[in-house]
C-alpha cells in the first residue's frame, strides 16, 4: 500500500504511539462510564476487547517491525483502520442514543479531521483511516433511524465535509509536496556540503604547501605541512599564534613584522585577497622566505583568512642566480655587456637631469693573446681574474667595472667635478699593471691601453659614447700601448 515512507514519519508515529497507548487505556475506562446507561454491556465489552487487542498489536508491531519502514507503516494503517471500524460499530449499536447524539459525534469527527489535516502532517493518513469508518457508519445509522430534516442536516454536513476535504486535501497535498521537495533539496544540498567539506578537509590536510586558517589575527587551523615548515612538534603549538610570532622582528623592508602583518591581513579582508613575500622564522631560528596567498572567506558565519604559503628560498636563490648569470660575466663576476649598456643608459639620464658629466673607459689588456696562446686558456682565465681584482682596487664602489668580451673591460665613472680626476684614475689603472702579475709559477708582464669618452661633450647616447671610447683606446695602442687617450685630445683644455 505504502511504498516510499520517510524515516521521519515512522519516528513521529512511533513516538506518538508510546504516549497514545497509555492515553487510550485511560480513555477506555472513561468510555465505559459514559456509555454504560445507553449501550448494552456486551457491546461495550466486545468493542473494548477489540480495541484493547488493537492497542496491544500496535505495541507489538512498533517493537518488532520499526526497522522495516514499509511493513511497519502498512500494518499500522490496517490496525488503525480496524480500530475506527470497531468504534463505528459500537456507535452503530448504541440502543438509546438520539439522532442529535450521532450528529454531535459526526460533527466532532469532522472538526477533528479538519484540525488534523494541518497539524498531524504525515500522520494525517493514519488519522483519516481511523475517522472515516466512524463517519461512514454514522451516515448509515442516520439513513436507518433519522427523519427527513435530519437527512438534510446530514447531507449538508457530508457535502460540506467533502468540499472541505477536497479543497483542504489538495492544499495540504501541494504544501506537503513542497515540504517534501524542499526537504529533498535540503538533504541533497546538505550532502553536497558534507562532501565538499570532506574534500576541503582532505585537500587542506594533504596539501603539498602550507595551509592555515587565520581567525581574528590568530592561527585557528593548520595542516601538517605548515607544522613541518616552521619546525614545530605538533599543530597545537601553532594554534593561537599570530603570523608575527613565527617571523623575525623586522621584514626585508625594515618594517616591524607585527605592524606589517596586520596591514597585509587587513588588505586581504578588504579586497578579498592579497599575495606577497614574507620572511618567516623556524623554531631553530633559521630565516626563510615564503610566498603568502591570503584569501578572505566566510566560515561558520565569520570572516576568516585562508592562507596558502610555501618556502621559496631555494626558488628565489635560483632565480637570482639565473638573473646574475644573465647580466654578469661567468668568469670574473663583473657586469656583462648587457648590464653595462643598461647602467650606461641610466647614468646618462641621471647626468642629464643633474647637468653633470660622466666618463666611459674602454680598456684592452695588452699582450694577453700571446700569453693565452702559449700558456693555455686556463692560465689566461686566471690572468683575467687577477686583472679584475687589480682594477677594482683603483675604483670607487659606485663606479661600474664591466667585462664586455675577451680581454676588454669598460668603466662608467660618475660624480666627478674635473677631468683631471679622470686622468688621475687612468694613470692609477696603468700603474696597477706595470709590476709583473704572478699567476701560478709565471710572472707575466702586462699593460693596458685605455680610451676615454666624455658625456655630453663627445656624444649624447650610450652606443656612440662606447664607440668613441673604443676609438680612443686604439689611439692609445697606436701611441705605443701602456697609455691612455681621450677621444678629443683637447679634453683637458
Residue 319 lies inside a defined structural domain of this protein? no
Q: How high is the pLDDT of residue 2?
A: 46
Q: Is the same domain home to 224 and 148? A: no
Q: Which residue range is the domain that position 144 belongs to?
A: 7-185
Q: Which residues, in sequence order, are bridge partners of residue 409? A: 363, 403
The CA distances from residue 433 to 259, 261, 357, in Å, are 54, 54, 27
Say what the alpha-carbon torsion angle 128, 132, 135, 141 is, to the nearest 10 degrees.
Answer: -160
Same domain, 14 and 129: yes
Please indicate, yes or no, whether residues 457 and 370 belong to a single structural domain of this protein. yes
Into how many domains does the chain fold? Answer: 3
- 244 contacts: CB under 8 Å, gap ≥ 6: 257, 258, 261
Q: Where are the alpha helices (DSSP H) in 272-336?
A: 313-327
For 211-228, write each residue's pLDDT tens digit. Answer: 888 999 999 888 888 888
In-domain check, residue 198: no
pLDDT of residue 241: 92
CA distances from 330 to 334, 410, 455 (A): 8, 16, 30
Output the tens digit of pLDDT for each of the chain's 493 residues: 444 545 555 555 555 555 455 555 565 566 566 556 655 666 667 666 776 777 777 777 777 776 676 677 677 777 777 777 777 777 776 656 666 666 666 666 666 665 555 455 555 666 667 677 777 777 777 777 666 566 566 666 666 556 555 555 555 455 555 655 666 777 777 777 666 666 667 777 777 888 888 999 999 888 888 888 999 888 899 999 999 999 999 988 888 999 999 999 999 999 999 999 999 999 898 999 999 999 999 888 889 999 899 998 888 888 777 777 888 888 899 999 999 999 999 999 999 999 999 999 999 999 888 888 888 888 889 999 999 999 999 999 999 999 998 899 999 999 898 899 999 999 999 999 988 888 888 888 899 999 999 999 999 999 999 999 999 999 999 988 999 999 987 655 5
Cα gap 430→449, rounded to integer Å = 8
Q: What is the CATH number of the domain that holds 351?
A: 3.30.70.270
The CA distance from 200 to 308, in Å, is 13
244 and 363 within one domain:
no
73 and 179 co-located in one domain:
yes
Which residues lie below 8 Å from residue 310, measured CB to CB, with a gap of 6+? 209, 210, 290, 291
User: Does residue 160 sit within a domain?
Assistant: yes
What b-and-e string marks burial along 405-421, b requiring 16 or more CB atoms within 10 Å of the CB? eebbbbbbbbebeebee
- 152 and 96 part of one domain: yes
Task: List residues bridging with 274 in a β-sheet.
Answer: 294
27 shares a domain with 152: yes
Euclidean distance between CA atoms 110 and 114, whole angstroms: 6
Amino acid 106: pLDDT: 65
Same domain, 111 and 244: no
pTM of the model: 0.47
Residue 306 lies in a domain: yes
In this structure, are 27 and 60 located in the same domain?
yes
In a domain, residue 179? The reply is yes
Task: Give the pLDDT confidence score for residue 97 in this predicted structure.
Answer: 64
Secondary structure class of 415 (helix, strand, coil): coil
In a domain, 194, yes or no: no
Q: Are residues 144 and 19 in the same domain?
A: yes
Residue 321 inside a domain? The answer is no
Residues 152 and 227 in one domain: no
Residues 385 and 338 placed together within one structural domain of the fold: yes
Q: Tens digit of pLDDT for each residue in 304-327?
A: 999 899 998 888 888 777 777 888
Last residue of a domain, one of 130, 151, 185: 185
Residue 13 placed within a domain: yes
Q: CA 48, CA 54: separation in Å to the nearest integer?
A: 10
Q: Which of 312, 341, 362 is the last residue of a domain?
A: 312
pLDDT at 140: 74
| Domain-ending residue, one of 286, 312, 338 | 312
For residues 165 and 146, the answer to whether their CB atoms sit within 8 Å is no
Amino acid at each position: 500500500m505504502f511504498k516510499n515512507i520517510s524515516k521521519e514519519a515512522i519516528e513521529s508515529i512511533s513516538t506518538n504511539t508510546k504516549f497514545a497507548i497509555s492515553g487510550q487505556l485511560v480513555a477506555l475506562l472513561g468510555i465505559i462510564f459514559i456509555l454504560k446507561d445507553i449501550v448494552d454491556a456486551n457491546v461495550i465489552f466486545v468493542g473494548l476487547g477489540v480495541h484493547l487487542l488493537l492497542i496491544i498489536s500496535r505495541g507489538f508491531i512498533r517493537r518488532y517491525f520499526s526497522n522495516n519502514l514499509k511493513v511497519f507503516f502498512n500494518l499500522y494503517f490496517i490496525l488503525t483502520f480496524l480500530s475506527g471500524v470497531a468504534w463505528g460499530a459500537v456507535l452503530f449499536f448504541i440502543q438509546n442514543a438520539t439522532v442529535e447524539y450521532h450528529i454531535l459525534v459526526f460533527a466532532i469527527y469532522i472538526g477533528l479531521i479538519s484540525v488534523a489535516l494541518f497539524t498531524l502532517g504525515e500522520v494525517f493518513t493514519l488519522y483519516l483511516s481511523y475517522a472515516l469508518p466512524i463517519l461512514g457508519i454514522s451516515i448509515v445509522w442516520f439513513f436507518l433511524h433519522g427523519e427527513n430534516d435530519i437527512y438534510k442536516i446530514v447531507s449538508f454536513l457530508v457535502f460540506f465535509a467533502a468540499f472541505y476535504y477536497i479543497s483542504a486535501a489538495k492544499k495540504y497535498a501541494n504544501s506537503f509536496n513542497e515540504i517534501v521537495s524542499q526537504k529533498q533539496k535540503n538533504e541533497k544540498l546538505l550532502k553536497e556540503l558534507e562532501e565538499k567539506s570532506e574534500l576541503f578537509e582532505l585537500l587542506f590536510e594533504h596539501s603539498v604547501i602550507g595551509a592555515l586558517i587565520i581567525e581574528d589575527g590568530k592561527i585557528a587551523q593548520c595542516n601538517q605541512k605548515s607544522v613541518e615548515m616552521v619546525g614545530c612538534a605538533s599543530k597545537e603549538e601553532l594554534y593561537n599564534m599570530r603570523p608575527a610570532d613565527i617571523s623575525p622582528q623586522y621584514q626585508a623592508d625594515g618594517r616591524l613584522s607585527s605592524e606589517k602583518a596586520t596591514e597585509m591581513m587587513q588588505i586581504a579582508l578588504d579586497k578579498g585577497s592579497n599575495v606577497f613575500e614574507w620572511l618567516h622564522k623556524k623554531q631553530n631560528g633559521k630565516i626563510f622566505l615564503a610566498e603568502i596567498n591570503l584569501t578572505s572567506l566566510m566560515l561558520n558565519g565569520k570572516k576568516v583568512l585562508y592562507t596558502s604559503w610555501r618556502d621559496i628560498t631555494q626558488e628565489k636563490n635560483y632565480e637570482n642566480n639565473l638573473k646574475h648569470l644573465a647580466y654578469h660575466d661567468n668568469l670574473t663576476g663583473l657586469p656583462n655587456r648587457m648590464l653595462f649598456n643598461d647602467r650606461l643608459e641610466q647614468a646618462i639620464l641621471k647626468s642629464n637631469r643633474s647637468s653633470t658629466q660622466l666618463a666611459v673607459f674602454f680598456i684592452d689588456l695588452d699582450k694577453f693573446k700571446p700569453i693565452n696562446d702559449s700558456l693555455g686558456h686556463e692560465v689566461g682565465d686566471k690572468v683575467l681574474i687577477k686583472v679584475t681584482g687589480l682594477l677594482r682596487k683603483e675604483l670607487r664602489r659606485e663606479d661600474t667595472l664591466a667585462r664586455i668580451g675577451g680581454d676588454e673591460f669598460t668603466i662608467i665613472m660618475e660624480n666627478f667635478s674635473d677631468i683631471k680626476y679622470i686622468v688621475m684614475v687612468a694613470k692609477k689603472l696603468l700603474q696597477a699593471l706595470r709590476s709583473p702579475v704572478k699567476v701560478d709559477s709565471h710572472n707575466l708582464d702586462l699593460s693596458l691601453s685605455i680610451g676615454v669618452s666624455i658625456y655630453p661633450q663627445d656624444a649624447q647616447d650610450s652606443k656612440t659614447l662606447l664607440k668613441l671610447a673604443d676609438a680612443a683606446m686604439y689611439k692609445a695602442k697606436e701611441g705605443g700601448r701602456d697609455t691612455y687617450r681621450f677621444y678629443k685630445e683637447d679634453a683637458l683644455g
